[in-house]
Amino acid sequence: MVSESTGFSVTAHGGEFGVSGTANLRIQQSQALLSGPDGQRGTIDLHTARAEILGSCISVRSAQGNLAFSMRDSAVFAEVHSCAPLELSDQLEEMARTLRKRRWGPGKILWVSLAILSSIAILLYFGIVLAVGLLIPLVPISFDQSLGKAAHQSMLGDQIVCTDEVVNSAMTRILDSLSPHLAIEGLDPELVVVESELVNAYCLPGGYVTVFTGLLLAADSADEVAGVIAHELAHATGRHGLRQLIQSLSLAALVQAGFGDLSGAAALGGGMEYLIVQGYSRDHETDADQVGLKMLQAAGWDGFAMATFFDK
């Protein structure tokens, strides 16, 4: 077992990092040391930490459940695995085996490829070389919904969906209160609660929202939960996921998908999950804060609650 590692990039969740944020990870004497770009700090004792699956990533969570980091890159996983104590090392191997079994089946790939083909003519006609800001309004919102739905189903994977009627009813009321105030037409958002101690939530293109029970426990009020959901929905109304996806994919991938090469389709679907792990740009986060706040206030919720939760 290697006792110390050099720094590498992961996504941190909880603690000073809030819902999620980019972090540098170093491992010294079985202590995972996390540091963020804005001075955030956190430490996870790997002797007591647990490994779990988060979407298509492997996450390492502290014993207290209030801090975690997730990774997808195989090189990062190999380094963390080499530094992990025996018990955590075994858990990491088990999570890796589980993820390997979860592959995009032919049905999912075909489904996503059909969604791509329905919009590929628009994308190719106007050209990827155009500024993304000019291209996005030309792409129908149904494109976001198709990609978001496919990624949503894939990311749920082996996650345990909350079946508590009280919790689900409360979340439905919050979503229903915000939906009339969405800043874009054509969205029909859906929300699912997942059993996990992680303090996290995310929204895929098309308005597919996932909230972790750890976030619900960390919130002090329904207003704070509504603030988080409004922020996440603002990513969908701003089409931030599609913007970053187009910026990150090459024209070649889209052309391949258009001519039947399903590797391009898989890249689009998998790209959705990758964006959630990496997080949105600062500009997109700022925009989501501003648009989400307007949505929150229009629905009658306490606008200050968004700030109080994210400041925790």
Which tokens hold the place of 245?
A: 């996806």
Give 61's Cβ-side CA count (13 Å radius). 20
Beta strands in 163-306 (DSSP E): 190-194, 201-204, 208-212
Task: Tell me the C-alpha distance between 283 and 20, whole Å.
Answer: 15
Cα–Cα distances in angstroms (integers) from residue 245 to residues 28, 32, 75, 205, 270, in the given order? 35, 31, 23, 10, 10
Looking at the chain, how many residues does it have? 312
Beta strands in the chain (DSSP E): 8-14, 21-28, 31-35, 41-45, 50-54, 57-61, 67-71, 190-194, 201-204, 208-212
Tell me, what's the pLDDT at 250?
Answer: 47
Nearest Cα residue to 289 out of 273, 272, 309: 309
Cβ within 8 Å of residue 154, ≥6 positions away: 56, 102, 104, 108, 269, 273
Write down the pTM of the prediction.
0.56
Task: Tell me the C-alpha distance between 104 and 70, whole Å.
Answer: 21
Nearest Cα residue to 182 out of 235, 239, 234: 234
Output 153-158 pairs: Cβ under 8 A, ≥24 positions apart: 153/108, 154/56, 154/102, 154/104, 154/108, 154/269, 154/273, 155/55, 155/56, 155/204, 155/210, 155/272, 155/273, 155/276, 156/192, 156/194, 156/210, 157/53, 157/55, 157/56, 157/102, 158/53, 158/98, 158/102
Nearest Cα residue to 34 out of 50, 58, 11, 4: 11
Residues of the chain with CATH 2.30.29.30: 8-101
SS3 209: strand
Tell me, what's the pLDDT at 74?
Answer: 86
SS3 per residue for 150-182: HHHHHHHCCCCECCCHHHHHHHHHHHHHHHHHC
Per-residue pLDDT of the chain (312 residues; tens, 9 = 90+): 444 556 889 999 988 988 888 999 999 988 999 999 999 999 999 999 999 988 778 999 999 888 999 998 888 899 899 999 999 999 999 998 888 776 555 555 556 566 666 665 455 544 554 556 667 787 888 888 888 888 888 888 888 999 999 999 999 999 999 999 998 888 999 999 999 999 999 999 999 999 999 999 999 999 999 999 999 999 999 998 888 777 666 444 544 444 444 344 444 555 555 566 567 788 889 999 999 999 999 999 999 999 889 887
Q: Are strands 190-194 and 208-212 parallel, antiparallel or unpaired?
A: parallel
Tokens 């290697």 found at:
2
The CATH number, out of the four listed (2.60.200.20, 2.30.110.10, 2.40.30.10, 2.30.29.30), of the domain defined by the range 8-101:
2.30.29.30
| Sign of the four-CA dihedral 210, 140, 273, 15 | negative
